[in-house]
Amino acid sequence: MNNKGHVLVTGGAGYIGSELTAELLRCGHRVTVLDSLLYGGESLLGFFHHPNFHFARTDVTEPGALRAALRRDWLTPEVVVHLAAIVGFPACQAIGRQAAWKHNVEATKLIFDQAVRMGLGRFIFASTYSNYGLAPNGTPVTEASPLTPQSLYAETKIAAEEFLLAQKDATCAPLIFRLATLYGISPRPRFDLLVNQFVLDAYSKRELIIYQRGYSRSFIHVRDVVRGFIASMEAPENKVRGQIYNLGSQAGNYTKDEIVGLVIKRLPETVVTYKDLTFGGDMRDIAVSFEKINRQLGFQAELTVEDGIRELIHVLRTGLIRNPQDERYRNAQFIVQ
């Protein structure tokens, strides 16, 4: 796809979507953003007068939402990046199975079907490494590893993946990214993500209360996720059609204690308390292999967790976010640490 191509982003006002929109515009693309503004739209205000930016407030669960949102004087998009979803196990639990399925599975089918009918070339889908669940033998999971979802959120993402993989021969080529846990600052900040919340709590409370000690997870900066998406837009079709890629960094595999250590390195006055808690939720304990995306797309993450911690502390110290505790910066009000 050439640099002046048109990209449609569902959920473009969100944590990933707003950062992706900024980078696509910087690269010279036209960008149409569809978003219901569940978490507000302030993240898009900086793009409002950009000649290559178009926004439509749209509910992607409504039939025909994609076509109705497009500008008639622009060419049809070549790519749709489907980010619109109820993201995270607490948010899915809060709205219930039926609503979570409607937003995360049925809406994916609707948007993909519209993309096919309109002649779009690629469909990039944001999934999650939560789909792997637990890896008891400690071996890093690959794209071929069994899926053992531990949450409603993962169940919905697996169902959407299964639908898209069954469409791999459609005129619109589907691509699935299983994202590691994100961190870092974007135009729509989130402080219900593990690294981001740890930094906020350590900075504002001088305290960290940690549950599920010792669990391993994988982390990636939101800007590196955006780089991965753009790399897939520029890759040959045979590298993306019907493919699944873990999107993250080998260096981003950490235990929770190691993340705590990195936070304390920057905020040494922090007091850490460990508590036991058993709950029915997202019990990931895995390391992830990113060999496939390195080999097939030549993707390498550029930012580290330490980079993210430094930028988060800088944003908090300078007061760029006036009230980081505000509910607008959380997809759900509860996170188990």
Minimum mean pLDDT range among 74-83, 104-113, 238-247, 277-286: 277-286
Tens of pLDDT along 259-270?
A: 999 999 999 999
Tens of pLDDT along 39-93?
A: 899 999 999 999 999 999 999 999 999 999 999 999 999 999 999 999 988 888 8
CATH architecture of 6-182+219-247: 3-Layer(aba) Sandwich (3.40)
CATH superfamily of 186-218+252-285+304-329: UDP-galactose 4-epimerase, domain 1 (3.90.25.10)
| Residue 281's pLDDT band (cuts 50, 70, 90) | low
The Cα–Cα gap between 263 and 169 comes to 46
Domain locations in the chain? Answer: 6-182+219-247, 186-218+252-285+304-329
**pTM, full prediction:** 0.94
The Cα–Cα gap between 239 and 173 comes to 10
The Cα–Cα gap between 286 and 304 comes to 18
Q: What is the CA radius of gyration of the chain?
A: 19
- For residue 14, the 8-state DSSP code is S
Closest CA to 201 of 332, 335, 90, 94: 335
Whether pLDDT at 182 is above 50: yes
